[in-house]
Amino acid sequence: MNQILSRSEPDTGVDVDWWRGAVIYQIYPRSFQDSNGNGVGDLLGIVGRMPHIASLGVDAIWISPFFTSPMKDFGYDVSNYCDVDPMFGSLSDFDALVETAHSYGIKVMIDLVLSHTSDQHPWYLQSMQDRDNEKVDWYVWSDPKPDGTPPNNWLSIFGGSAWTWEPAREQYYLHNFLASQPDLNFHNPDVQDALLDVTRFWLDRGVDGFRLDTINFYFADKELRNNPALPKEKRNASIAPSVNPYNHQEHIYSKNQPENLAFLARFRALLDEYPGTTAVGEVGDAQRGLELLGQYTSGNTGVQMCYAFEFLSNETPTAARFAEVFADLDRVAAHGWACWAFSNHDVVRHVSRWNLNPAAARIYATLIMCLRGSVCLYQGEELGLSEADVAFEDLQDPYGIQFWPEFKGRDGCRTPMVWENSNRNAGFTTGDPWLPVSPEHLHRSVADQEGEPGALLHHYRRIIALRHSHKAIRKGDHDGLYAYGNVLHFTRRYEDQTIFCAFNLSNIPVTHALPAGDWVTIGAEVGSTAPGPDGNLHLGPWQVALALKL
């Protein structure tokens, strides 16, 4: 009789560190593929497009929330953690997705939103009834000040006070995001236990990991002390747009609390019961992102990876900026592990944000694949999609509606994926899409680029393959990142393999020295140039040089 190996028993054939250096493809399910013609993407749509995902060579997919939800924040307001919202399908559809992904050798990570729930979640509906129920302190409640105003000055990322009055309790509740997203009280062990039970539910269902939304927001200061003002020169709009007064505070009490480390240790211990599972945390902090990344990923008691917002900002990263970020990372998180992203579902697509020409888009794609850390790619990034221009009357995002027109929200990066150029909906749906397909995207469709050998889509496939075929690029250390004018260079090492990388992040040709030693050029298929007769690298505009030490 064959022995059945349970999920919690070690499998010596499993690479438990597969996440280290992995390429993770983010799917925003509403906009990926609609399988039933209702205009909204769904889980079976993802199943149908799995061959495209596999063709990229990625290690895993991260699926943004698909749980039962009133969709006030499009799934990031969960009303049932252990079921699929009917618009996305069913639990059996999710099982089919996991089975299909695994058949292609692709891991499945799902987006867990633990810091808050929907105000329609049964936990909240019970907690808000009165001050004498089993879940009375499952959320962050507080009496008003004597004058009836909120208990402190905390602000919501979505604008206005982070407190909303609940007449039934005659108390305020905390919400760092929408008023319909009340914050859970992590100081209550029962809340932690319930969320760990949710995590176990999905682990038992076969998921390989989690993306943890707003991982540094789990705990609020027990004393609810006021946040201090943030000096104007230190304000950074990478977390919230500059028009949002949220940027005027230093959020030292409303998030980033030290108790978070103890909860993450509990979370990690649960993951360790399921060998080969992993988690990447989203660190939403404009001032301390890298420092928190170091705290949350150091050792074996935190999550395996975190990503901060250094390269999700509006600032086009120069060679000097990359060197600065990695110097800071090496200083405050030398033993941590970063997961880098240039785009996601919350920010303007980086091709538009940084105003990249096609050559620049290629070299940035090559660069992120060569950095120490893991990588998240956002759906459509492999096509070079730009930010879509969504008219106000078509907006769905409450964030954009609130701050229009100074900030247009997140719908421009969430428009449907473009699969073909045969109709106005680009093969995404046979119905009316929940957001309009951008006409500018049609000529960038998957089908169009499949027929163009020089298309960006093929470049992504080649650079991902190059990353996987060189262990120094995938898992190696670096000797620091260095800027020499517009050239960024560094050396990656793993065991007996050493690779030198140089990137000309400008439209001006430069000459750059190759380190001493015997080197052979690699990556010609991604545009890597060989040394000239003088032994130096002659980098053209937006050109890369990759060399393997013999």
Report, as residue numbers or ranges, the catalytic residues: 213, 273
61 Cα distance to chain centroid: 11
How far is it, in rounded angstroms, from Cα 416 to Cα 428? Answer: 7
How far is it, in rounded angstroms, from Cα 406 to Cα 403? Answer: 6
Contact yes or no for 308/333 (Cβ under 8 A): no
Contact yes or no for 525/498 (Cβ under 8 A): no
Please report where in the chains the tokens 């890369």 appear, as a residue.
Answer: 544
How far is it, in rounded angstroms, from Cα 127 to Cα 365? Answer: 47
Contact yes or no for 201/268 (Cβ under 8 A): no
Contact yes or no for 267/223 (Cβ under 8 A): no
**Tokens at 258, concatenated:** 């030290």
Handedness of CA 21, 416, 447, 451 (dihedral sign): negative
Amino acid at site 412: G
Three-class secondary structure of residue 492 per DSSP: strand
Verify cis geometry, omega within 30 degrees of 0, for the bond prior to 509.
no
Element (H, E) at 548: strand 544-549
How far is it, in rounded angstroms, from Cα 43 to Cα 5? Answer: 28
Helices 189-204 and 260-272, packing angle to 10 deg? 30
Q: Return the closest-CA partner of residue 184 out of 262, 78, 258.
A: 78
How far is it, in rounded angstroms, from Cα 176 to Cα 154? Answer: 8
Contact yes or no for 136/101 (Cβ under 8 A): no
Spell out the residues 6+ positions from residue 440 whose beta carbon is closer than 8 angstroms to its own: 386, 388, 389
- Structure letter (DSSP) for residue 56: H
Phi, psi of 501 (to 5 degrees): -130, 130
**Tokens at 458, concatenated:** 């093929």
How far is it, in rounded angstroms, from Cα 160 to Cα 506? Answer: 41
Please report where in the chains the tokens 């064959």 appear, as a residue.
Answer: 2
